[in-house]
Each structure stands twice: as C-alpha cells, then as structure tokens.
Amino acid sequence: MANMGQEDFDARVKRIKNPRNNSYYDPDLQMHIPKKLTRAKIVKPPSKSSQAMSAILVSMVIGGAAMFCAQVVRVRYLGMTGGNSAVTFSDLLIGLWMVLLFSALMKRRQFLGRFGQVVGLCLMLVTGHNLVWKWPDLMGKIYTPEYVAEIKSTTTAGSILFQGNVFSF
C-alpha cells in the first residue's frame, strides 16, 4: 500500500515537471494551478544597419575573389589576354559562375548579398589589374609573366581599365 502512494506521488511530480504543461491539477485543492514560469529576458537585437553593411562588405569580397579566380582561369587555362569584348564577356561569364559557387558554399544567397557580390565582381573587373602593380612577382606566379608584362605596359598604377580603355587618376 505504501508503494502505491509513492507511485502516485512520482506521477504527480512528473506531470508538474512536464515542459508541455503550463499548469497542473492539484487533487487536494481540486483545481488547476499555474506553473511559475521564468520571465523572458529582454535581449536587445543587433542593429540592422551594421548587419547590412557587413553583409554587403563580405559579399563584395566574395565577388572580388570570384572575379580574381575568373581572370586566373581566363589567362592561365584559356590563354585569352587583351582588352577586347570576348575577354570581358569571358571574365563576366566565369565570374558569375564563380560567384554562384562561392555564395552557395558560404550560404550568402540573399538579395542584398547578391547585390554586393555583383558590385564586387564589377569593381574587380575594372580595378583588378592594380594588384599586378602592387605585387608583380606574386601575380607573375599566379597569372603568367607575359600577362604581367602586358598589364604593366598597357596600364598605370591606380587606374581603371574598362573595355581596353585605361582611365588614370
């Protein structure tokens, strides 16, 4: 008989501690008793502007890296150099494919992220040759020495290159 009381008590405690219940029935009082719930803590969410700015900056870096990889593929494996429209088209096509690949790997597929990636892609397209001016030895190993010599002969440091036209500042 004493064991029956212990089982009843354990069942009652189990009902009280059940996380799905927000109240329990007390047979002695013959009423539902609300459980004491902890008050939800107020957590200040991070500001949206800093999140958006960092998302755009990270996405621009992803876009720039994708264009860098696209130019390496174009110069090293396709052997295309010069400033004609076929070079620009191949850079954009390979760059967009790389952006899709990198953004899928890094889970950056929101609209704002895509915008930043395209901006980074375009910025690297017109200013990426300045990396050759900054680190010519390293870029000669990554690209080809002939491509580095061509860039140094046709452009200036700190310039913008668009469709074969160089705009110096």
- In the predicted structure, residue 102 carries a pLDDT above the cut 80: yes
pLDDT per position as a tens digit, 122-134: 899 888 888 999 9
| Average pLDDT of the residues in 138-157 | 90
Q: Residue 40 has what pLDDT?
A: 66
Could you tell me the two tokens for 128? 């990426």
Instruction: Scan for tokens 């036209």, then name that residue.
Output: 165
Burial per residue of 29-65, b for 16 or more beta-carbon CB atoms within 10 angstroms, e otherwise: eeeeeeeeeeeeeeeeeeeeeeeeeebbebbbebbbb
Q: Residue 23 has what pLDDT?
A: 75
Cβ neighbours for 136, distance < 8 A, ≥ 6 positions apart: 148, 152
Residue in 3, 164, 2, 35 with CA at minimum distance from that of residue 87: 164
Domain boundaries, the chain: 51-121, 129-160
Q: Record the pTM.
A: 0.65
- pLDDT > 70 fraction of the chain, expressed in percent and rounded: 91
